[in-house]
Amino acid sequence: MIKIFDAKSTTDEVLDGIDLSGKRILVTGVSAGLGVETARSLAAHGAQVVGAARDLAKARRVNGEEIELIELDLASLSSVRAAADRLLADGRPFDVIIANAGVMATPLGKTSDGFETQFGTNHLGHFVFINRIASLLRPGSRVVMLSSSGHRFSDVDLEDPNFDHTPYDPFIAYGRSKTANILFAVGFDNRHKSNGIRATAVHPGGILTELGRHLEPNRINDIVDNLNKELAEQGKDPFEFKTVPQGAATSVWAAVVAHADEVGGKYCENCHVGQIVPDDQSISAVSEGARAYALDPIRAELLWAKSEEMVGELF
């Protein structure tokens, strides 16, 4: 019997009865929020989890001795390359990579390599890291990119990725980076599926975690109030934030539960594959669905080439 999960499903419910003994799984961003819960739930079901974090002391405090840790600052390509080199030198393979780390709605800033903070951290850091360690992925393995419904704020801008000529907006920048996460999954899946390696992108849902540290509380309240007005007009129930275990559920579902062909090259949310929504459909009122531009294989190839150009490395 196939189990059906939804927005309220938790990590423990999704993984109920799943034995991950012998599986080695890498999770980025394990110092807080979804990353901690993702690592915990996978380790609890027998997986050997390697957690990557910028702040190792903080990661140790919140994870205890449950997982192996590696230092990774996605806003520094030197750190990214050093972390990848350490894993390659170690040589042990992975069955899953979950690219969970990220930042949201930051003030205008640059990474140490001069990239706009959100695009550089959320996309380019993972782009280099995952591509560099791709040889460690076993046949049958998966890559899970954490995106967001925020990708609907904006497509990528391949002409001005660093806002050198475009007025900066924190949420437009976030949308670009989250669209890039989906397009990377599409591009990576296309390159590796012939070897039995699949990639997918997931939207965890609305969760109150440290990701929102740059948002003023009033801004969050205003967003929720506006969303609830639109939902009420449509006769729908008010918006509810997910718990952290509910938010991490789609990540582990896509990583080890769903069939690879079901999720490969797709956008997932609430423990199922999301549908395409029209570009003219309201951003805030749409509770589910992906914009077509985020799953466009041609856009994925253009972004891949632009990313290689920006980081000075071919994959």
Cα separation of 53 and 41, whole Å? Answer: 17
Cα separations (Å) of 22 from 19, 25, 47, 144, 252? 9, 10, 6, 19, 16
Cα separation of 268 and 204, whole Å? Answer: 9
Is 267 designated active site?
Answer: no
Is 293 designated active site?
Answer: no
Count Cβ atoms below 10 Å from residue 246 Cβ, excluding itself.
24
Is 174 designated active site?
Answer: yes
Cα separation of 202 and 212, whole Å? Answer: 18
Cα separation of 51 and 69, whole Å? Answer: 5
Q: Spell 176-195 as b/e; 16+ CB within 10 A means b.
A: bbbbbbbbbbbbbbbbbeee
Query: Hey, is 276 helix, strand or coil?
Result: strand
Question: Which residue in 31, 147, 148, 251 is the catalytic one?
Answer: 147
Question: Which residue in 174, 267, 293, 307 is the catalytic one?
Answer: 174
Count Cβ atoms below 10 Å from residue 303 Cβ, excluding itself.
24
Question: Which residue in 178, 242, 251, 307 is the catalytic one?
Answer: 178
Cross-strand pairs, 146 = 202
204: its two tokens = 């965890």
Q: Which residues contact 170 (CB under 8 A, 6 or more apart)?
A: 105, 106, 107, 108, 118, 214
Residues identified as active-site: 147, 174, 178
